[in-house]
Structure 1
Amino acid sequence: MKISLLSNIPKRIPPLLNIPAAIAGGYSKDKVVVVLGATGTGKSRLAIDLATAFSAEVVNSDKIQLYRGLDIATNKVTDDERRGVPHHLLGIADPDSDFSASSFRAVAAASVKSILKRSRLPIIAGGSNSFVEALLDDSDFRSRYDCCFLWVDVAMPVLHSFVQDRVDKMVERGMVEEIRDFYRPNGDYSKGIRRAIGVPELHDFFDLESNSDEETKARILAEAIDLVKMNTSRLAFRQLEKIHRLRRIRGWRMHRLDATEVFMKRGGAEEAAAAWERAVAGPGAAVVSRFLYEMDSPAVAVTAMRRRVTAAAAAVMAHY
């Protein structure tokens, strides 16, 4: 979704609300929003939409996007796509390091705490459900925070088709040359950024291209790209299975947002944008509003909050 649809979103809009949770409702726990979904479903887009509406910051939970490099291959959200929303834990780790789930738990918890200190809402978004699970399994985290789970879902046949097209667009943007910089004849694909889909799949092409004719090189490259597509689809399926397990076994109460209609209309930018607002962004904002303020919409929430805050806080609120 970040490749074809985020470019259609307007630039950052002013936040609707920016007051501490203690003033907003006196909750005993701070609030955290978690956006889940298979690769390519639009998690980053929704997180950014919500961040512009609720004065929030995004904490990346994609285990490969944590590493520096391969911005195209790992489909990192671009500066323009972020629309001014602060993002944490993007490209922070050395490409050759082994960033574990426990390491993520520590730095993500610190990021959440830092965001809340600035009276802003943390939104955790990314496809690595095992990392999110490690964070939420921490007893200290559970004791401090209430979490709202949003699940962006797309029918698998439709998502698979989108993934195929997305890989082709990544190749057009320079994915092969980007990955070439990470090629090593005896590369270790079990750790670091070289685990990223695309790096091991292109190994044979880089190995053989210097001793192959143009026809053979084209064939090997096409086979590698097909393998990238297949493995990306397999990843999406595994991620979806993990989400179902988290719902069934962990009992996570997820609010499912069906984005299938958006992907079926992706040929028309205006229709796709309207479908996104109708099926994903609007319902998602309503869920978060109820979670934060026990109201049906951010606008209603702001009105109600202004009735309850102190005179001094109300004067500040009048600015929004």
Structure 2
Amino acid sequence: MTDAAGGSDPPAPPHAVVCVLGQTGAGKTRLAVDIALENGGEVVNCDAMQVYAGLPIATAQASAEEMRGVPHHMLGCVDPTGAVASDAVAGGDRAPGSLAGAIDVRDFRDAALGVIANVIARGKTPVLVGGSDYYLRAVVSESLLDEGEDARAVESSDEDQDDADAATRKTKLDRTKGEPTVGPNDTRDEAAALAAHARLREVDPVSAAKIHPRNTRRVRRYLEIRDSTGEPASEIFARRRRAAADAMRFRSLFLCMRATNDELDLALRRRVDAMLAAGLVRELEAFAAKAKARGASDDARGASQSIGFHEWGRYLRARGFEWTSGEGKDGDAGEGEDVDALRAEAVEAMKADTCRLARRQLRRCRRLERAFGWRVIYLDSTATHAGLRVGDDAAARSAWAKDVREPALAATVSFLAGEDPGGGGAAPSEEEPWTERRCEACDKTLRGETEWRSHVEGKRHRNRIAALRKKREGKHGTRQQASAES
């Protein structure tokens, strides 16, 4: 379109959306509803599993009470057994198209964009809530799907990093930064790790400065990226950050809900107990029976892999639901299995898996900043959970208002007004270059403050320093000499 002077009209500014990310059980739904109520918004689910119908308890979908009258979309709108479901119970629209069976991220993206367009057309603010940042990324940015080989290489390196992070925990860790230390008997492995890291330092010094040499899987993956693409991963990441900034479909505010591991673990275990009391087992049995009766294909098995379902596979098979996939102890359940024991096993597995998921989600939120340059505001609900744990509802409400609701609403109001939303709670520790320090006494190179502190406080280092001191003072071996003279 041209104006009266014959020039082109400037492009319309992108619409604003508020995105609530973060750890499961930390309070994403509650915050999203708070924001929607205060800003005339509607909630759009971007969780990969909550889109499926038939498992509202297992996938922790918002209840009508939790929605507080706010329309919710893309929630329980796809029947994984093959039929198209409606999300009318959530007060929202049916997802566009005929979504049925298992859907992938592109199916979800296309449907969600139609829903968001309808919300904006009604003059409302879309509030996107995602436990799966992958689905939310696909919605808000054009650059994160259908990319080239370099992007896929880096994406898979991110996935490997989750595995590497888990493997690193098997070594000694600093509880606050997760820095590994090399054990005293790891000489051969250390030599190989240092050699690989030395090569990474040659071909990608930026990445090498941020990856500990003992994180061998990540070092190896970054070398593979360099070999397969001909470019350092750090340069590919930088290009992706620029592309992501230039290809945003919406002007987006990112709010991340988090809590400390100790407090959130307890809250998640309580939540699983509440799910059981609400009828989780009956829901799973009904879903499995429906899928079996319909002769559901492997499409439905996709939903059964969600946390809250797959841990119950062995129990459900023992109960006669042969269609069911899932985990438990190795092997299939057979006749004579102790169903009560399988139920208890499934409960504990579900609690453990949920806690692990929460940790992984926080790492992925930090990755959004590192890989794509997105600014994320962190909000901490630890004190809220602590109050709920001890039954102090007044303290929990006060903590929620102070630590979460008020700063989130202030950021949202500023953002929607086109202003800088400001900072937020403290982010998880950023990935910083490793600082090498040399212990001449022990002839050892240490990387990172935690390794250094662990080394200098260790018995072997203290003994070495004491021996050198005695040697300087001429006292080395005096105890043995005195014993011999006596």
Q: Same fold (TM over 0.5)?
A: yes
Which TM-score band applies after superposition, normalised by the shorter structure? 0.7 to 0.9
Counterpart of 1:125 in structure 2 is 129
- Distance (Å, rounded) in 1 between the aligned partners of 2:301 and 2:26: 25
Output the amino acid matched with 1:40. G
Counterpart of 2:387 in structure 1 is 265
Counterpart of 1:167 in structure 2 is 272
Normalised TM-score (structure 1): 0.78
- Distance (Å, rounded) in 1 between the aligned partners of 2:376 and 2:12: 21
CA-based RMSD: 2.5
Counterpart of 1:285 in structure 2 is 409
2:36 to 36, 41, 51: 51
* Preserved contact between residue 140 and residue 248 of structure 2 (Cα < 8 Å): no
Counterpart of 2:142 in structure 1 is 138
Counterpart of 2:190 in structure 1 is none
Matched, 1:206 2:316: yes
Cα offset, 1:217, TM superposition: 2.1
1:231-246 matches, cutoff 5 A: 231-246=353-368
Secondary structure, counterpart of 1:232 in structure 2: helix
Output the amino acid matched with 1:166. R
Output the amino acid matched with 2:78. A
Counterpart of 2:348 in structure 1 is 226
Structure 1 stretches lacking a partner, 5+ long: 1-25, 298-320
Cα offset, 1:101, TM superposition: 0.8
Counterpart of 2:104 in structure 1 is 100
Matched, 1:114 2:219: no
Cα offset, 1:62, TM superposition: 0.8
1:52-91 matches, cutoff 5 A: 52-91=37-76
Counterpart of 1:318 in structure 2 is none
- Distance (Å, rounded) in 1 between the aligned partners of 2:409 and 2:420: 9
* Preserved contact between residue 140 and residue 250 of structure 2 (Cα < 8 Å): no
Secondary structure, counterpart of 1:257 in structure 2: strand
Secondary structure, counterpart of 1:113 in structure 2: helix
Secondary structure, counterpart of 2:26 in structure 1: coil
Output the amino acid matched with 1:208. A
Distance 1:187 1:112, change over 3 A: closer
Secondary structure, counterpart of 1:202 in structure 2: helix
Give the share of equivalent positions with the same residue, in percent. 35
- Distance (Å, rounded) in 2 between the aligned partners of 1:261 and 1:114: 37
Counterpart of 1:251 in structure 2 is 373
1:124-173 Cα distance to aligned partner (Å, 9 max, x none): 00201110112233159945420011111111221111111110111111
* Preserved contact between residue 102 and residue 300 of structure 2 (Cα < 8 Å): no
* Preserved contact between residue 286 and residue 296 of structure 1 (Cα < 8 Å): no
Counterpart of 2:427 in structure 1 is none
* Preserved contact between residue 48 and residue 82 of structure 1 (Cα < 8 Å): yes
Cα offset, 1:84, TM superposition: 1.0
Structure 2 stretches lacking a partner, 5+ long: 1-10, 82-100, 144-243, 321-334, 422-486
* Preserved contact between residue 189 and residue 195 of structure 1 (Cα < 8 Å): no
* Preserved contact between residue 182 and residue 199 of structure 1 (Cα < 8 Å): no
Secondary structure, counterpart of 1:67 in structure 2: coil
Secondary structure, counterpart of 2:356 in structure 1: helix
Bigger Cα Rg: 2
- Distance (Å, rounded) in 2 between the aligned partners of 1:189 and 1:205: 21
* Preserved contact between residue 109 and residue 135 of structure 1 (Cα < 8 Å): yes
Cα offset, 1:87, TM superposition: 0.6
Cα offset, 1:220, TM superposition: 1.5
Normalised TM-score (structure 2): 0.52
- Distance (Å, rounded) in 2 between the aligned partners of 1:174 and 1:187: 26
1:25-76 Cα distance to aligned partner (Å, 9 max, x none): x982211110001111110100000000000001001111101111111111
Distance 1:145 1:187, change over 3 A: closer
Cα offset, 1:231, TM superposition: 1.0
Counterpart of 1:29 in structure 2 is 14
- Length, aligned pairs only: 270
1:103-124 Cα distance to aligned partner (Å, 9 max, x none): 1111111111111111111110
- Distance (Å, rounded) in 2 between the aligned partners of 1:147 and 1:254: 10
Cα offset, 1:190, TM superposition: 8.0
Distance 1:281 1:27, change over 3 A: farther
Secondary structure, counterpart of 1:181 in structure 2: helix
Distance 1:209 1:92, change over 3 A: closer
Cα offset, 1:206, TM superposition: 2.3
* Preserved contact between residue 262 and residue 276 of structure 1 (Cα < 8 Å): yes
